[in-house]
Structure 1
């Protein structure tokens, strides 16, 4: 298969997004409801399942607020950030924006997001965990409301385990060595019909951060610089290169094909691997796409290492500082995070709800996939929250993917690539200061 580069995060246009002053809010004076009909634009990324549920929730909001029409714009992760950067730079950003931790500082520090303190009359955050709310701040300013929380997981296809006579692991104590042996056993017993595992590390910031945290480090410092020791990235890459060579995990070409396929058409959904990494909140979409009995496992542990898992804000809602209707935008976000009507529709699709009352409500009546996501999260004793991705660091995922592909395709030595990655990432952060 011909190699295709994967860029799931910001492209060049997003990196070059110019500084824009916040506009239209006047320190809160202009955040007032209109007496006339209002049209809002709202954007998000996600699977087909998310699109359908969000549209249903918007319809419920419009019934309660008949003077507000919500026009939706949704994409997969691949094109979302380029589109948002383009519209923002053109002073035409959607009013309500689904935001990710990886990009929050980048957009917040450019003045393109509304200070939500200006809209507090229309947006109640009193029932959201304080620690999660703080994760939506940049420089002390609240630019985002966390929708929910998620945690890294390893997805196991129990149907494939059973088909090839392999027991699911005890994930409370298994190590990376156990994982490697299990992946090799699955590949061998299937006769190569499947790969024991997808590549579950070294090509995205979540897996790199998990590896670093288990080694007493992290990806970024609290001060906004790169914390990652290149030697840890070399260690992770060399581990998976060995598994690729042995056939225990998929090839580099298969990895690229899977990531380009997204949640609905990736290697887990299509049953090409027995194990793969994800966040717990993706389980319903993965189960719906695969039709398989998928389980959530704790990722392998490092022998004697630190706790690598932490509760990551799954995503946020933000309001554009360019919005002509920030009050109505705040009402829409308030409905999505606080109303029982929205909760009954959305449940845990965007994460275990940050609103504690809503979390309790949805936990009483969940479908199997949602219950798996909640049970998994409840089983984890997380470590401290990781520092937010600094301004200039938003390009971290496509950057990691670029270097990981060079390493996994044998085009560059791990040590050279790791040093270059850290230097390039720090350079982008320094340039944004």
Structure 2
């Protein structure tokens, strides 16, 4: 995944709701065929053909194709036609396909869009077709909407702070004690690293990811969503925006221009991965890319806590989900592919932690010794903190537009075109107007 987990454009924000509504009118234009969902639709000599769509990097495409090849070898009666794209174009393409009744039989979806797709009748009941007994029950509930298992998590993930130990050592500072450090400690450490290493290396990289705001608010006892509205107070949101200004102000992070430029790049071009920054917040499955890019030891840390907070607000989240289209007339074959991807050790060994650590205990047990060092570190980190990592539930409709809003208003703040208080009020007005 790229640095900006949900870089939605303003164009996408306008196109998405219209396409989803249009799709409701086109729902009956789905790929009609067999009621049993078995071998209907495209078939050649008794072979069922299903379409499988995802987003991601070239590496993810290669790994997924290997998994598809393994699936086809075990299921010679099913042929999988793959469709993949980068993140920026994925949802535009998918929503167009849904609107025209031509959705892929299997596709990936993230939690920000899950509820919207499910409530619009776009997703099949995957829980009735895919074996879920061996899957992590806590994480599994994240794929439920109104009690129905519409999607199957691809794997486990958590949003954490990463530290490039070489840069910390070069700055003459020790790895922080993440069991007790505060946001003030984090800011001071970032400034110390920047000062000690020179103008081309920074203590940290700022981040407007909504996962960061979620855990920041949770430390104050506030939920990101309450029903169909933002549950975070304007004061907390303003304080969160202010933390970014503070890091720029004390030199702990790059200035606004460079921070925005770096924030638009991939994880491979981040400060940590290019050895120009000591710290940053990322999803745990990105540890491998950061380690590989930097060539150094990168450590996973708990995020800092606000003084007096009883929790650091960190949570366990599905990296994404496998979903089966309700429009598909080949749901039985589609479900076999999803079942293979989450329950077969061969698939687990191929995919590794690319879409999060496997959530099937038997699969994980079989492949864990073969996982790369970065994945083993991520697994140990999640297992160590499992008791305190809660899993989210499906978000309200419109939640997919919220990350872009936070990015836009965050940039208004760091370029000093808005105060944190103004940005918080405007963000809440816009977000609550979109959510339903």
TM-score computed with the length of structure 2 as normaliser:
0.90
Equivalent residue of 1:398, what SS? helix
Equivalent residue of 2:51, what SS? strand
Establish whether residue 94 from structure 1 lines up as the match of residue 99 from structure 2: no
Equivalent residue of 2:225, what SS? coil
> Mapping of 1:306-321 within 5 angstroms?
306-307=310-311, 308-321=313-326
How far apart, CA to CA, are the structure 2 residues paired with 1:408 and 1:15? 30
RMSD: 2.2
How far apart, CA to CA, are the structure 2 residues paired with 1:264 and 1:15? 32
Comparing 390-399 with 360-369, greater Cα deviation is found at 360-369
Establish whether residue 16 from structure 1 lines up as the match of residue 25 from structure 2: no
Q: 2:116 aligns with which of 93, 106, 127?
A: 106
Comparing 395-404 with 357-366, greater Cα deviation is found at 357-366
Q: 2:426 aligns with which of 416, 420, 423?
A: 420
Q: Deviations over 1:38-70 (max 9, x none)?
A: 322222223333222211111111111223222
Deviation of residue 7 (structure 1)? 2.9
Establish whether residue 397 from structure 1 lines up as the match of residue 407 from structure 2: no
Asked if structure 1 preserves the Cα contact closer than 8 Å seen for 2:156 and 2:319, the reply is: yes
Deviation of residue 72 (structure 1)? 2.1
Establish whether residue 295 from structure 1 lines up as the match of residue 302 from structure 2: no
Q: Deviations over 1:117-171 (max 9, x none)?
A: 55x2xx2111112222221111222210112111111111112122332211111
Q: Which residue does the alignment assign to 1:358?
A: 363
Q: 2:166 aligns with which of 159, 162, 186?
A: 159
User: Residues 410, 266 of structure 1: CA spacing in aligned structure 2 closer, same or farther, 3 A cutoff?
Assistant: same
Equivalent residue of 1:395, what SS? helix
> Mapping of 1:76-225 within 5 angstroms?
76-117=86-127, 120=129, 123-200=130-207, 203-221=208-226, 223-225=227-229
How far apart, CA to CA, are the structure 2 residues paired with 1:341 and 1:70? 17
Deviation of residue 199 (structure 1)? 0.4
How far apart, CA to CA, are the structure 1 residues paired with 2:291 and 2:61? 16
Asked if structure 2 preserves the Cα contact closer than 8 Å seen for 1:403 and 1:417, the reply is: yes
How far apart, CA to CA, are the structure 1 residues paired with 2:18 and 2:276? 38
Deviation of residue 423 (structure 1)? 1.6
Q: Which residue does the alignment assign to 1:3?
A: none
In structure 1, the gaps of 5 or more residues are: 1-5
Establish whether residue 46 from structure 1 lines up as the match of residue 46 from structure 2: no
Q: How many residues align?
A: 419
User: Residues 252, 42 of structure 1: CA spacing in aligned structure 2 closer, same or farther, 3 A cutoff?
Assistant: farther
TM-score computed with the length of structure 1 as normaliser:
0.91
Asked if structure 1 preserves the Cα contact closer than 8 Å seen for 2:127 and 2:151, the reply is: no
Deviation of residue 220 (structure 1)? 0.3
How far apart, CA to CA, are the structure 1 residues paired with 2:211 and 2:198? 31
Asked if structure 1 preserves the Cα contact closer than 8 Å seen for 2:159 and 2:281, the reply is: yes
Equivalent residue of 1:312, what SS? strand
In structure 2, the gaps of 5 or more residues are: 1-5
How far apart, CA to CA, are the structure 2 residues paired with 1:413 and 1:59? 53
How far apart, CA to CA, are the structure 2 residues paired with 1:207 and 1:279? 10
Deviation of residue 426 (structure 1)? 1.1
How far apart, CA to CA, are the structure 2 residues paired with 1:11 and 1:292? 38
Asked if structure 2 preserves the Cα contact closer than 8 Å seen for 1:237 and 1:414, the reply is: yes
User: Residues 383, 117 of structure 1: CA spacing in aligned structure 2 closer, same or farther, 3 A cutoff?
Assistant: closer
Asked if structure 2 preserves the Cα contact closer than 8 Å seen for 1:49 and 1:285, the reply is: no
How far apart, CA to CA, are the structure 1 residues paired with 2:413 and 2:270? 21
How far apart, CA to CA, are the structure 1 residues paired with 2:256 and 2:17? 27
Deviation of residue 194 (structure 1)? 0.8
How far apart, CA to CA, are the structure 2 residues paired with 1:215 and 1:25? 48
Comparing 406-415 with 87-96, greater Cα deviation is found at 87-96
User: Residues 38, 286 of structure 1: CA spacing in aligned structure 2 closer, same or farther, 3 A cutoff?
Assistant: farther
Q: Deviations over 1:361-409 (max 9, x none)?
A: 2223321011011011122142433343111222111111111111111
